Amino acid sequence: MPKYLKKFCVTAFLFCFIASAQLIAMPLEVLNDPNFILPHDRKPVENSGSLNSASQSNEPSANLYKSGDSVFFVCNEYTFISPTGSGSDCWGWTDANGTDYAIYSGWNTIEFYNLSTGTLAGSVPAPSSSWHDIKTYQNYCYSVSENTGINAGLSVIDMSFLPDSVHFVTSVPISNAGHLTSHNLSIDTAAGYAYVEGTSDVNQSIRIISLADPENPTYVGSFGPGGGLHDVFCHNDTLYLAEGWNPSISIWDMSNKAAPALLTRWTIPNAGYVHNVWPTGDKRHVLTTEETSQKTVKLWNIEDLNNVQLIDEYLGGSGLAHNAQIEGDTAFVSHYESGVVVLDLSSGTSIVEIAQFDTYPSTETANFNGCWGVFPHTPSGRFYASNMEGQLYVLKEFDVVLADTMIALDVQSLPGSAIRVDIWAKFTLDMHEFEIPFNWGGPLNLVYDSISTAGLMTSYFEVQQFSAWDGFFNRAAYLLRASSGNTSPNLPAGEGVILSIYFTIPGGASGGPNPITFTPFSGKEPSFRNNCISYTPDTLSGAVALGDPPCCIGFRGNVDGSFENPPTVNGIDISDLVAMVAWMFYGGADLACPEEGDVDASGGAIPIDISDLVALVSFMFQGGAEPAACL
């Protein structure tokens, strides 16, 4: 590099460095975990056996699972309670930042819950009624009700101000005759039209409303056979209609709004009240419900519209199904006292129940209690279930093979040295809690000093405490929990160091190695806990051995070989940057550990160069990638 260019780079760097240093009065605390790479010669011990199970409880199940088990379950992330004490339907919306909102129709409100904070973000008054329906289009929520009163008709609510608030825009009649009441609506988000069932009209026709101006819905026309129409679904100008007491299902081509074309209609034999229809993702099948005691959920093949075929039927334990919605080839049914039921339709030839979450566990009868609505169409994989009694459940499916491990990483040092043993973990699910029993008894007579999560991925956990202690036999158990209530998020699935334990090797110690094990005691055993299940990971013991300590520990960057108190991640702090700049440009002292200075692990004839300095600065100040792992 030319000298003038080198001086320019150094000057520019130092200017930025000094400016940054003036902003930082304390040593840099890195909040992301170093994600240690598991040494290649260390393999976790595998457990045998497998267990398939579904969990319906709101509490984590017992430690019935182990690493290697195949587990399917539905997890309840949140339960929101409507201030109104009752309600009906639910829907969802995800903003441009990826934040999910669950929407619930309370007795006289439309409520918006922020799932990133677990709080009510806002609400809008609605007519007092046990029946509302809600849908979304762009940044707007639309609602209808069977009752008149405040905001009656088709209400328009602006969600673009979330997470701060929601704004009522307007409410318009659903017809040019001024009708205000409706039981159901569907929005064709591809074409920009709402289809609203007209309850207050004797003929109960379907109203077509343009959303070309989303804040000013415009009546276009109406169609339908009348006589008790109930529910409608439309996408990309194909409309599916559940015709109530008629009792039939029809499919319409809506490309010409002035003259909708009937594509097919079929009658359901021995039907109850034909309540709801929803197509599969490939539009080859539809699922229907009848909201009548002992009337089944039915799967139909509609590939030949002239010969619609009944494929299979299903009924949950309560004997009363309400609404079904489909995401891809998976159906989600709000099944009143049976809660929400998840059905696999992928074979095209059968209905297979794969999960159930009971939102009304007190009884299992064909009465109108419990789960009214369900919404499964979220990018995050969540689905929502609403109870008539005022509860809104935020649920998520997990179908995973647990490949989870907890390891004590090996340490080597000299007698009289202070050492740190890192507990490394890999976890398949997002974690709410870690239980870590550890035993340090052995030939070196290690002295326990302290324990810390400073700088680790678990540093934000609200509960960090010993759950058991036995100093006489050199063993303890430590509990890490994300929150004591529901105030902190779970730790996303991943891997890295979750706990650091500090010991002293006594002067004159000999023998070894000294094992660090996860032997259970006092009812404490290694466990990982999700919100819904608790399970036992594979464990691998570590060891403390006598010998010259390696200068590179964990991942690179601690070029001066120091560890702060309290410790930062792998000892990286502002002093390392100062030492590296001094050595590279000002003839400063040699680096205490050259391997630590090769931050990007480029090696070669000149292993440490300007790219390593750039990498270290990026990591420390700009959220850049962590340095490479030590060899």
Domains 70-401 and 405-546 share a fold: no
Average pLDDT over residues 602-609: 78
- pLDDT > 90: percent of the chain: 64
Quick one: which of 48, 61, 25 has its CA closest to 531? 61
Residue 627 CB partners (closer than 8 Å, separation 6+): 555, 556, 557, 572, 599, 600, 615, 616, 619
**CA 536 distance to own-chain centroid:** 22
Q: Specify the pairing of strand 119-125 against strand 447-452.
A: unpaired
pLDDT in tens, 497-511: 999 999 999 999 999
Average pLDDT over residues 561-575: 64
Min mean pLDDT across 60-69, 376-385, 618-627 is at 60-69
Most confident of 123-137, 393-407, 537-551: 123-137
Alpha-carbon distances of 600 from 6, 322, 558, 595, 604, rounded to whole Å: 20, 58, 13, 10, 12
Answer yes or no: is pLDDT of 516 > 70. Answer: yes
Answer yes or no: is pLDDT of 41 > 50. Answer: no
Alpha-carbon distances of 425 from 83, 370, 395, 433, 582, rounded to whole Å: 41, 40, 26, 12, 37
More confident residue, 615 or 193: 193
pLDDT (0 to 100) of residue 597: 85
More confident residue, 591 or 365: 365
pLDDT (0 to 100) of residue 570: 64
Q: Does domain 70-401 have CATH number 1.10.3080.10?
A: no
What's the rounded Cα separation, in Å, for the pair 331 and 385? 13
Answer yes or no: is pLDDT of 120 > 90. Answer: yes
Compute the chain's Rg from CA coordinates: 31
pLDDT in tens, 371-390: 999 999 999 889 999 999 99
Answer yes or no: is pLDDT of 4 > 60. Answer: no
Average pLDDT over residues 580-598: 86
Give the angle subtended at the CA of 461 by the CAs of 380 and 422, to the nearest 5°: 105
The tally of CA atoms less than 13 A away on the side-chain side of residue 338 is: 22
Answer yes or no: is pLDDT of 60 > 60. Answer: no
pLDDT in tens, 338-347: 999 999 999 9
pLDDT (0 to 100) of residue 28: 22
The residue ranges of every structural domain in the chain are 3-34+554-621, 70-401, 405-546
pLDDT in tens, 206-234: 999 999 999 999 999 999 876 678 899 99
Answer yes or no: is pLDDT of 25 > 60. Answer: no
pLDDT (0 to 100) of residue 476: 97
pLDDT (0 to 100) of residue 58: 40
What's the rounded Cα separation, in Å, for the pair 209 and 175? 8
Answer yes or no: is pLDDT of 552 > 90. Answer: no
Q: Specify the pairing of strand 411-413 against strand 542-546.
A: parallel
Min mean pLDDT across 131-140, 194-203, 305-314 is at 194-203
More confident residue, 327 or 6: 327
What's the rounded Cα separation, in Å, for the pair 50 and 69? 4
pLDDT in tens, 172-187: 999 988 999 999 999 9
Answer yes or no: is pLDDT of 2 > 80. Answer: no
Average pLDDT over residues 190-218: 90
- pLDDT > 70: percent of the chain: 86
Confidence at 203, pLDDT banded by 50, 70, 90 = low
Average pLDDT over residues 408-428: 93
Answer yes or no: is pLDDT of 567 > 90. Answer: no
More confident residue, 586 or 218: 218
Average pLDDT over residues 29-55: 24
pLDDT (0 to 100) of residue 603: 76
pLDDT (0 to 100) of residue 386: 97
For 244, which DSSP code? B
Average pLDDT over residues 302-328: 97
pLDDT in tens, 248-291: 999 999 999 999 999 999 999 999 999 999 999 999 999 999 99
**Token pair for 312:** 């299979």
Indicate the fold that domain 405-546 takes in CATH: Immunoglobulin-like (2.60.40)
pLDDT (0 to 100) of residue 67: 83
pLDDT in tens, 430-448: 999 999 999 999 999 999 9
Confidence at 486, pLDDT banded by 50, 70, 90 = low
Quick one: which of 312, 311, 314, 309 has its CA closest to 332? 314
